[in-house]
């Protein structure tokens, strides 16, 4: 029997569908063949580990489970949505035919979900939460404007913003930024920019139109399809998955965006836009599968700030019974990928706009690697990340829950003053020498503060007046 067929037998065995005779035959084969026994053990090991991972309270797993329970109700709703979509498409086609095939501004009904310091051009009276507005051309001079369209699509428009609706499923983004959460029934919602169209395939995403007419697209959940504006065919389109970001420029091939400015507590485009300190974050990995973005939280370091790009539920927090380190509050946070913790070939580069102090948050359970130990200063600061869900995850395997049942990891904080702008590279989270010590440590965190000029008689006590010094230079 070929190896593949043996594996198929093993699969049937673990699904309980192998006949008694086949079990007997497999038993005999396993008794004779040590290599086959090894294959069997490893295959079942994968099966056992999958069952462990599947019970972790990751948002994506929970989402999938919820969806599976709702399958029947969804079918009914899908039929309704399908009927509505057919009506929409027919209306749109008729509409386009009457307009020479081009999108024309049209009015849509929208419910106001929330606003923040909003100045919406053309609306003299104050916009109130819960109001129903008829919108077509939308221009925001300042503030945030979150609205829900009749299709259930929720849009958060971030000023300065100019856009035109071409029906409830299509928005021309002329300038500015938006976050879209299309919900269950808004699939197909399209954001049109000069550089390309972003067609939603059931997701949450952000689009930012840059000054030169280009666009940046970041997908936070689900997936979108990106295609050339006005192109009906999807053959040249590109599917962008969650955690991936692209930059678009008319007439150019889309390029990977290595970092995206996100909010402190949610994976969405940040209203504050770019950081004053960090231009971008890149790495040296050219793996074609490695296309996700680093999150940058501008001025956002505080209790509850997202720690890792692909572990949204895990946040930075004060060590129990201590307060959050003052030196780190309000700093820019770089959210790396937690799964990189085992990489010994990774270098993360911060492209700094000005002199900064770079803090590296290093898992307390590990010895610092030479690049950290020899080039950074150790501080007395301590911080935790959490909560890490089920205690069976490899990274927290030896960690007992705290009094509140949370599983937290503690980090020591190291820092380095970088007196010049430009690229600053951090070493790998792992080393070949350390490989024998498996699991049990987290990916490092990165926090950036501006380097302060020391005031006369300042706190640091180090460096002559006018030198750049770190805010916590007094730490050992």
Partner 1 sequence: MPLRVGENDVMDGRQDQHYDRFLRLYTEHEPALRAFVRRLVPKRSDAADVMQEVALVLWRKFDRLTREEEFCKWAFGVARYETLAWLRDKARDRHVFSEGLLLTFADEAMEAESYLAAQREALERCLDKMRDKDRRLMLAAYAEGTMVRDIAQRSGRSIVGFYQWLHRMRLRLLDCTRRVLATEGLL
- Residue ranges that bind partner 1, judged by CB under 8 A: 7-8, 11, 13-18, 20, 23-24, 26-27, 30-31, 37-38, 40-55, 60-61, 63-65, 67-69, 71, 223, 241-242, 289, 310, 339, 342, 391-392, 394, 397-398, 400, 435, 438-439
The nearest distance, CB 78 to partner 1, in angstroms, is 12
The nearest distance, CB 65 to partner 1, in angstroms, is 5
Closest CB to partner 1 among residues 43, 371: 43
The nearest distance, CB 39 to partner 1, in angstroms, is 8
The nearest distance, CB 116 to partner 1, in angstroms, is 32
Phi-psi group of 167: left, alpha or beta (phi > 0 → left; psi -120 to 50 → alpha; rest → beta): left
The nearest distance, CB 48 to partner 1, in angstroms, is 4
Q: Where are the beta strands (DSSP E) in 257-320?
A: 259-262, 278-283, 294-297, 306-308, 311-317
Q: What totals of helices (H) and strands (E) does the chain contain, helices first?
A: 6, 27
Closest CB to partner 1 among residues 312, 451: 312
Closest CB to partner 1 among residues 266, 397: 397
The span from the CA of 197 to the CA of 176, in Å, is 15
Closest CB to partner 1 among residues 41, 93: 41
Closest CB to partner 1 among residues 174, 342: 342
The nearest distance, CB 222 to partner 1, in angstroms, is 8
- Identify the CA nearest to 470 among candidates 358, 360, 349, 378: 358
The nearest distance, CB 156 to partner 1, in angstroms, is 23
The span from the CA of 328 to the CA of 383, in Å, is 10
Closest CB to partner 1 among residues 53, 133: 53
Q: How many CB atoms lie within 10 A of CB 182?
A: 24
Closest CB to partner 1 among residues 115, 387: 387
The span from the CA of 93 to the CA of 87, in Å, is 10
The span from the CA of 22 to the CA of 12, in Å, is 10
The span from the CA of 214 to the CA of 231, in Å, is 17
The span from the CA of 37 to the CA of 42, in Å, is 9
CB 341 within 8 A of CB 442: yes
Closest CB to partner 1 among residues 35, 126: 35
Closest CB to partner 1 among residues 50, 124: 50
Q: Where are the beta strands (DSSP E) in 121-153?
A: 132-135, 137-149
Q: Where are the beta strands (DSSP E) in 185-291?
A: 190-192, 197-200, 204-209, 215-221, 223-227, 238-241, 245-248, 255-256, 259-262, 278-283
Q: 3-state DSSP call for residue 411?
A: strand
The nearest distance, CB 67 to partner 1, in angstroms, is 7
- Identify the CA nearest to 425 among candidates 314, 326, 282: 282
The nearest distance, CB 200 to partner 1, in angstroms, is 15
Closest CB to partner 1 among residues 13, 371: 13
Please enumerate in sequence order all residues whose Cβ is within 8 A of that of 318, keeping only pairs 6 or more positions apart, or say none.
Answer: 303, 324, 325, 383, 384
Closest CB to partner 1 among residues 67, 462: 67
Record the tokens describing residue 343, joined without a space: 């990489």
The nearest distance, CB 335 to partner 1, in angstroms, is 15
CB 259 within 8 A of CB 295: yes
The nearest distance, CB 331 to partner 1, in angstroms, is 27
**Residues 194-227 as b or e (16 or more Cβ within 10 Å = b):** bbbbbbbbbbbbbbbbeeeebbbbbbbbbbbbbb
């Amino acid at each position: 029997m070929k190896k593949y067929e043996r594996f198929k037998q093993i699969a049937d065995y673990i699904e309980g569908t192998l006949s008694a005779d086949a079990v007997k035959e497999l038993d005999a084969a396993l008794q004779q063949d040590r290599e086959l026994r090894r294959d069997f053990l490893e295959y079942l090991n994968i099966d056992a580990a999958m069952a462990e991972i599947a019970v972790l309270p990751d948002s994506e797993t929970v989402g999938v489970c919820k969806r599976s329970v709702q399958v029947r109700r969804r079918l009914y709703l899908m039929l309704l949505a399908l009927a509505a979509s057919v009506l929409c498409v027919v209306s749109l086609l008729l509409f386009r035919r009457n307009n020479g095939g081009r999108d024309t501004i049209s009015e849509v009904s929208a419910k106001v979900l929330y606003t923040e310091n909003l100045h919406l051009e053309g609306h003299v009276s104050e916009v109130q939460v819960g109001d129903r507005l008829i919108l077509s051309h939308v221009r925001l001079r300042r503030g945030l404007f979150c609205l829900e369209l009749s299709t259930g699509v929720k849009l958060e428009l971030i000023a300065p913003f100019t856009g035109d609706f071409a029906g409830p499923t299509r928005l021309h983004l002329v300038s500015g930024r938006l976050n879209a959460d299309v919900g269950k029934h808004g699939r197909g919602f399209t954001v049109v920019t000069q550089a390309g169209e972003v067609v939603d395939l059931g997701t949450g995403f952000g689009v930012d139109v840059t000054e030169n007419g280009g666009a940046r697209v970041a997908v936070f959940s689900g997936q979108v399809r990106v295609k050339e504006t006005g192109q009906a065919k999807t053959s040249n389109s590109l599917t962008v998955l969650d955690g991936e970001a692209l930059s678009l420029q008319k007439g150019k091939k889309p390029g990977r965006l290595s970092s995206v400015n996100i909010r402190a507590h949610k994976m969405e485009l940040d209203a504050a836009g770019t950081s004053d300190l960090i231009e971008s974050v890149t790495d040296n990995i050219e793996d074609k599968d490695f296309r996700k973005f680093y999150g940058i939280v501008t001025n956002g370091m505080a209790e509850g700030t997202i720690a890792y790009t692909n572990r949204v539920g895990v946040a930075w927090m004060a060590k129990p019974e201590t307060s959050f380190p003052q030196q780190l509050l309000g700093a820019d946070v770089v959210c790396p990928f937690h799964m990189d913790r085992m990489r010994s070939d990774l270098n993360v580069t911060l492209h700094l706009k000005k002199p900064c102090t770079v803090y590296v948050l290093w898992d307390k359970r590990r010895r610092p690697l030479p690049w950290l130990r020899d080039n950074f200063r150790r501080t007395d600061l301590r911080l935790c990340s959490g909560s890490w869900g089920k205690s069976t995850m490899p990274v927290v395997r030896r960690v007992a829950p705290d009094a509140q049942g949370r599983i937290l990891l503690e980090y020591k904080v190291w820092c380095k003053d970088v007196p010049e702008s430009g690229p600053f590279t951090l070493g790998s989270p792992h080393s070949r020498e350390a490989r024998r010590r498996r699991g049990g440590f987290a990916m490092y965190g990165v926090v950036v503060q501006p380097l302060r000029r020391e005031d006369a008689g300042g706190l640091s006590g180090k460096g002559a007046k006018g030198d750049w010094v770190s805010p916590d230079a007094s730490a050992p």
